[in-house]
Structure 1
Amino acid sequence: MSVSVRIPTILRTYTGGESEVSASGDTLAAVLDDLDSNYSGIKGRIVDEQGELRRFVNVYVGNDDVRFLDSLATATPEGTQISVIPAVAGG
């Protein structure tokens, strides 16, 4: 299943400057694996050493935050747009 993945500026060095790329997979985990096979190292910036989403990275499938769905097991239907958004902090 092909999906569109929006890449934040900070991770575009992995995608050759592309702000949006295509990937395949029926779950977010599969999409991230496919993304990493085409853009080596990008998955490690989204997922930590324990295989969980990094604390300061938000991922949306459509308009829904995957932390409130099934996290990496969230379904990614054909044509879905996935957005990777680094959290913004400061004071």
Structure 2
Amino acid sequence: MATVEFIVPANWRTVAGGELGELRCSADTVGGALDWLTEAHPQFAARVYTGQGRLASWINIYVGEDDVRHLDGLDTPLSGDARLTVVPALAGG
């Protein structure tokens, strides 16, 4: 089981109970870490998952510098000290 450090987007910190950008948990996979995150902070679920329970297309998750969509998605294994960054896509104009 890996020790996971989440990097929380600044505009989502109120959803994380005011945490200052970093949350920690233990998990074996990216999906397991997200399960912990959405159980500990339920408001994240609506921001991360679609109504069908799939990872929302506007959410990018990185393990270190690797996009999980190019790995095994939510089944991507975690080991050691893993750093997950949750990055919502932003529309520009």
1:90 to 82, 89, 92: 92
Alignment map for 1:14-53 (pairs within 5 Å): 14-18=15-19, 19-53=21-55
Structure 2 unaligned spans of 5+? none
* % same residue: 40
The two structures have a TM-score, normalised by structure 2, of 0.86
User: Deviations along 1:10-45, whole A, 9 cap, x unmatched?
Assistant: 221121222110022111111011112211221331
Q: Cα offset for 1:50?
A: 2.3
How well do the aligned residues superpose, as a CA RMSD in angstroms?
1.4
Measure, in 1, the Cα distance between the counterparts of 2:12 and 2:78. 21
Give the residue type in structure 1 aligned to 2:54: E
Structure 1 unaligned spans of 5+? none
Give the residue type in structure 1 aligned to 2:9: P
